[in-house]
Structure 1
Amino acid sequence: MKVLWAPWRIEYILGHKEKGCIFCDKPKEDKDRDNLILYRGKLSFIIMNKYPYSSGHLMVVPYRHVHSLEELKVEELTECMVLTVKCLKCLKKVLHPDGFNIGLNIGVVASASIDEHLHWHIVPRWAGDVGFMTILEDVRVVPEHILVTYDKLYPCFKGEG
């Protein structure tokens, strides 16, 4: 029998499922570290993915609740792209990835788990980060606690790093 020990997942499995939209609700709170918000722009913000594909998996999210690119105003699109570049710069400086996957999942059939609020994914990648666990067992290994990664990245987003 194969056993994969991932005790942090039980919080998600058994935990309280929040009602409403996390991308609308979390920025209204004054708990950026708890909510994994790294940066707040005028029209959009940067938040860490709580269930990342890799360490440093970030998301750029417009504050306005829209589900398609066509609904965004030019100013919102511009700021989202500027913040995406900011993500790349900080991730390169702090985590030194070998590459990135950047994209949008639009629609449930396109794997959008939060379909109702558009957001960009910025996923840092390293040579060899897809090892036997992913290939053979369809499991990802994230080697660092998310708040440790947050604390590493936060100074860069605040211009201190």
Structure 2
Amino acid sequence: MRDGSADEQGGAGIPDSFQRLWTPHRMPYIKGENKPKGSGPGDGCPFCEITMMTDEDGLIVARGRSVYAVLNLYPYNSGHLLICPYRHVADYTDLDDAETLELADFTKHSVEALRKASGAQGFNIGMNVGGVAGAGIAAHLHQHVVPRWGGDTNFMPVVGHTRVLPQLLRDTRALLAEAWPHR
């Protein structure tokens, strides 16, 4: 007779009515593995290292003179972009005028490309400056551009703490690079 007891589950806990989705690939991110420990470009900063890769390998959507747009490896939604200065700076006030202008311009281009490529209906745009403000990589400033659609928040992130992304990052990068405004 199967009663769903812990013994029947191999000692895996008290049975309940919940289904489980396991995402062990997220554990390195949660534990902060490979997170840069230093504060300089030579200390393993991923935003500095990405710029030395091909656009496809680094998931770079577009490059400018002072900044570039790259897909977030841990996106909140498909198409979640980061606008990063090439220069390794931690604080928004450390950007020079050219970097500030191009960061704003790339933010506008991101919105245009995401609307064209995916039909995004809204956006969350912003940056977390400093670790206490929630910056995952506080040593290198970056602005988030997160596309949103009606009904894109469902039970998965709220109850399951899991995001469902309908497209692989490489496919998303290719679509956004093609949709990026070329002026």
The answer for unaligned runs of 5 or more in structure 2 is: 1-17, 37-43
Show the counterpart of 1:23: 47
Alignment CA distance shift 1:149-1:7 (3 Å): farther
Show the counterpart of 1:139: 162
Aligned residues: 158
| 1: CA distance, partners of 2:73 / 2:61 | 12
Deviation at 1:137, TM superposition (A): 2.3
What pairs with 1:8-157 in structure 2 (closer than 5 Å)?
8-9=25-26, 17=34, 20-29=44-53, 31-157=54-180
Deviation at 1:36, TM superposition (A): 0.3
The answer for unaligned runs of 5 or more in structure 1 is: none
Contact 2:67–2:103 (8 Å) recurs in 1:
yes
Higher Cα Rg: structure 1 or 2?
Answer: 2
Q: Deviations over 1:12-66 (max 9, x none)?
A: 579x72651111111023x211110111100110100011000000010011111
Contact 1:39–1:158 (8 Å) recurs in 2:
no
TM-score, normalisation: structure 2: 0.78
Alignment CA distance shift 1:99-1:2 (3 Å): same
Percent identity between the aligned chains? 40
- Of structures 1 and 2, the one scoring higher in RCO (CA 8 A, sep 6+) is 1
Query: Aligned AA for 2:153?
Result: V
